[in-house]
Amino acid sequence: MTRDSWPFGCRRTQYHSLVDSGLDYLPHLRRESARFAAAIAAAPPAAPVPPCPKWTADDLLWHLAWVQWWWATIVRDNLAGPDARRLGPERPSGRPGLLEFFHRASQDLQQVLGATSADAPAWTWSDDHTVGFIRRKQAHEALIHRIDAEVAAGSRTPMDPRLSADGVDEVLRVMYGGVPEWGSFAGDESRALRLRATDTGDSWLITLGRFTGTDPEGTSYDEPDFGVADDDSGAPAAAFISGTAADLDCWLWHRPPAGAIDQSGDGDVLSEFATVIAPGID
């Protein structure tokens, strides 16, 4: 699926989660940001980042620093994303300047989000225009890029299972999922697969189908897609994918899992799902 024509690499227009994680995202954001900083400091500035082939370790550091600065600016100054983007600082030269900017931006984001109610209104690229959306999104942004930094540094550490299960839900429903108002999705219930986290017990029933529509710029789409059931009621599935929540989260984000991802059942269904997620997320 071609996603780079939609804002921020996804075409999600209606946001919701069916995993009742009960998570407080702020401590996770704080921990994952600190773990990112430690991992990136252990990677040479020019070290490649295999999950992001165009980036060096310093490019990754700049990316997460800028993203955390950007969201803090949006919430603190009550700005729309494009307006905040125009205020963006220049990239510091060298590792020391990048690290200093990251620590400042990360601390600012944590303070701003912690001081603002989760249900407070804020600009987002989703239909969920609340600070709660940003808290969740940024906890997972820090988690995935912490993995990138550890891969670049050559040292992996464990991922929190509950945050990872929530991450699977977030990537399926928010980053890959959703149907814009100008399009429609037609699912084929005979081509369903079940994704299951073996350590947390969470599962997702995914139905393959086709997305069609013409966007406001006049580009038409007719391509394979999938939908995620509001809850997994145990309906029959033609194929199955399982692994720990952390490994599933990494796999869906096209990051190397630490363990095995088991796949069984209808090979065509598995192949089509793989095709749909193959382009990844920008």
All structural domains of the chain with their residue ranges: 15-157, 179-277
- List the beta bridge partners of residue 69: none
Q: Which fold has domain 179-277?
A: Nonspecific Lipid-transfer Protein; Chain A (3.30.1050)
- What is the pLDDT at residue 127? 87
pLDDT averaged over every residue in the chain:
92
pTM score of the predicted model: 0.92
pLDDT in tens, 226-253: 999 999 999 999 999 999 999 999 999 9
pLDDT in tens, 137-157: 999 999 999 999 999 999 999
- What is the pLDDT at residue 177? 84
The answer to whether 15-157 and 179-277 have equal CATH topology is: no
Question: Is 11 a residue whose pLDDT tops 50?
Answer: no
Residue 89 DSSP one-character state = P
**The domain defined by 15-157 carries CATH number 1.10.3470:** no
Alpha helices (H) in the chain, listed in sequence order = 25-41, 57-77, 81-86, 95-114, 131-153, 161-170, 245-252, 267-277
Task: Give the pLDDT mean for 153-175.
Answer: 96
- What is the pLDDT at residue 282? 61
Higher pLDDT, residue 76 or 9: 76
Task: Give the pLDDT mean for 33-48.
Answer: 98
Residue 23 in contact with residue 143, Cβ under 8 Å? no
pLDDT in tens, 83-119: 999 999 999 999 999 999 999 999 999 999 999 999 9
Tokens of 235: 């309906």
- Give the Cβ contact number of residue 171 at 10 Å: 21
Question: Is 66 a residue whose pLDDT tops 80?
Answer: yes
